[in-house]
Amino acid sequence: DAGVIQSPRHEVTEMGQEVTLRCKPISGHNSLFWYRQTMMRGLELLIYFNNNVPIDDSGMPEDRFSAKMPNASFSTLKIQPSEPRDSAVYFCASTRTSGNEQFFGPGTRLTVL
Amino acid sequence: GNSVTQMEGPVTLSEEAFLTINCTYTATGYPSLFWYVQYPGEGLQLLLKATKADDKGSNKGFEATYRKETTSFHLEKGSVQVSDSAVYFCALSVHYGGSQGNLIFGKGTKLSVKP
């Protein structure tokens, strides 16, 4: 099994630009989670999906952030426009709904200049 | 509400020392408890878990026992190695109606082991 796949692994962009982060969950997993990790705030849940449907997006910081899951094998997290305070490592994780272990991807390190 | 509190780091130990990282929780219902580990530059990996009171999770020499009476899930290892240097996260998940709730993480404890 390839595990959770995230792309890109690193992204450097300028303030105001649009950023799209991508995630491919483990095949057969039907829940997907997006997290943000910073030194100041630790690990924060942004949004999660069950069977491609967003369940809880209360962690999404602002309207500049949006997430989609058009099918069971793909999700995106978009930031538009990006700001320097969005700089962080963004993780995607997936799990079977009936299980209780989340499998994390390697993360995308985002730097907004 | 549901929350996890773990000891603040960083923790610095010499190789072969005994490790304890404290974790306590507050939860409605009956949570499952986890320890995740994050090695430098990587995502989080499940280290061990326990799903009911008095269960002991163990892996790679690490252990943690689910203590309902003290609402704790402390991580221990008898003899740490340099390769154990990482950030350790305590987490809980509360099931609702057969479906898993999302994980709630502590802030993480950075462990550095010196040779």
B98 contact residues in A (CB cutoff 8 A): 98
Both tokens of residue A26? Answer: 């483990």
Residue B39 Cα, gap to closest chain A Cα (Å): 11
Task: Tell me the pLDDT of chain A averaged across its residues.
Answer: 92
More confident residue, A105 or B100: A105
> What pLDDT, on the 0 to 100 scale, is given for residue A71?
94
**B30 confidence band (pLDDT: 50, 70, 90):** confident
**Contact criterion met (CB < 8 Å) for B102 and A91:** no
**Contact criterion met (CB < 8 Å) for A106 and B45:** no
**Contact criterion met (CB < 8 Å) for B43 and A104:** yes
| Residue at B108: amino acid letter | G
Quickly count: other Cβ atoms within 10 Å of residue B10's Cβ.
9
B94 contact residues in A (CB cutoff 8 A): none
B93 contact residues in A (CB cutoff 8 A): 100
Helix or strand or coil: residue A86? helix
Of A56, A99, A107, the CB nearest to B102: A56
Residue B19 Cα, gap to closest chain A Cα (Å): 22
CB B110 within 8 A of CB A45: no
Pick the residue from chain B with its C-alpha nearest to A6. B43
| Residue at A15: amino acid letter | M
> Which of A51, A53, A101, A109 to probe the B interface (max B CBs under 10 A)?
A101
- Among A59-63, A73-77, B88-92, the minimum mean pLDDT is found in A59-63
**Contact criterion met (CB < 8 Å) for A100 and B44:** no
Measure the CA–CA gap between A65 and A57, rounded to whole angstroms: 10
Quickly count: other Cβ atoms within 10 Å of residue B3's Cβ.
12
- DSSP symbols for B22-38: -EEEE-SS-EEEEEEEE
Measure the CA–CA gap between B43 and B105, rounded to whole angstroms: 14
Instruction: Identify whether A81 is preceded by a cis peptide bond (ω within 30 of 0).
Output: yes
CB A72 within 8 A of CB A30: yes
Q: B84 pLDDT exceeds 60? A: yes
A97 contact residues in B (CB cutoff 8 A): 99-100
B34 contact residues in A (CB cutoff 8 A): 100-101
Residues 6+ apart with CB under 8 A from B2: B25, B26, B27, B28, B31, B92, B94, B101, B104
**B101 confidence band (pLDDT: 50, 70, 90):** low
**A84 confidence band (pLDDT: 50, 70, 90):** very high
Give the residue among B110, B38, B113 at the shortest CA–CA distance from B81. Answer: B113
Both tokens of residue A78? Answer: 């978009």
